[in-house]
A and B are shown apart, each in its own frame.
Chain A
């Protein structure tokens, strides 16, 4: 059982996994940068960001650059820890088989 426990359901989706991969190695990233890196549509990205925000895995900061609204995302401590757990669980699963 042990290993399966650490596989995080929330990271089972490619885009959410991608968002976390980017945010653990960067202090923060804005919406457009995530969109560019992940190559997804606005609506799609927004809904996955919402899901991660709801679990408090990421932090959302809204600000203005000039008159344009700009939203920055960063990983929380909890998000980073959960992501690490998920990755080591993945690695163990691969090694085991």
Chain B
């Protein structure tokens, strides 16, 4: 075989790997946008809490409800953005969005996330607010690591970072909010930017 054949083999391999585990194409842009939503959401949350007449993070009645709405909007917008860009990319590549792989990716992503969400709601009901930020980071990180089996992207490493930040948050509950900002805001933007650079290269 000539050098040309080897090169062709390698590009064929890469192409098949990408198409068969396509969720590498959770595009970099949707990562960056998710990070920006998280930062905006955090800014709103910060404003809400500092204007609630207390200078520390104890949540009651109305402020708490607004915070939950804020959080819900951040999550909702991130998911919608990810679906939008992924669908667009999949259409461009001429592949189906909803197939065997997508289903498995989603199920594996959701198991730790839903379990964590329910757990957090339960301990919020017991007025244990301090751990919320850390717990969200840990369960989200576990969800990423669990879903990473179905991608060849570097989502696994993002997951590890989130887990470590979450554990720091458990250790220093007072910094939960800032670790949340770092994990969901800054880290998504950094990850998205790295992905975008890689997408441009290939």
Contacts and interface: CB of A to CB of B under 8 A. Distances in A.
Nearest to A12: B1
* Dominant secondary structure at the A interface: helix
Contacts of B17: 21-22, 24-25
A94 B21 CA distance: 26
Interface in A1-41: 12, 14, 17-18, 21-22, 24-27, 29-30, 33, 37-38
Indicate the size class of the contact surface on chain A. Answer: 20 to 34
B7 A94 contact: yes
B10 A90 contact: yes
Interface residues of B, number: 20
Given A27-B149, A37-B20, A21 B12 contact: yes
B13 A37 contact: no
Contacts of A12: 1
* Dominant secondary structure at the B interface: helix
A31 to B, nearest CB: 12
B60 interface: no
A42 interface: no
Nearest to B104: A27
B201 to A, nearest CB: 17
A17 B20 contact: no
B20 A87 contact: no
B6 A17 contact: no
B55 interface: no
Contacts of A93: 3, 6
Contact of B21 (A14, A17, A18, A26): A26
Given A27-B149, A33-B100, A22 B16 contact: yes
A25 B9 contact: no
Interface string B1-34: 1010011011011001101110000000000000
Interface of A: 12, 14, 17-18, 21-22, 24-27, 29-30, 33, 37-38, 87, 90-91, 93-94, 97
18 contacts: A14-B9, A17-B9, A17-B13, A21-B20, A22-B17, A22-B20, A24-B17, A25-B152, A26-B150, A27-B104, A87-B10, A87-B13, A90-B6, A91-B10, A93-B3, A93-B6, A94-B10, A97-B3
Q: Please give me the 5 A-B residue pairs with the lowest Cβ-Cβ distance, nearest first.
A: A21-B16, A22-B20, A21-B13, A25-B21, A25-B17
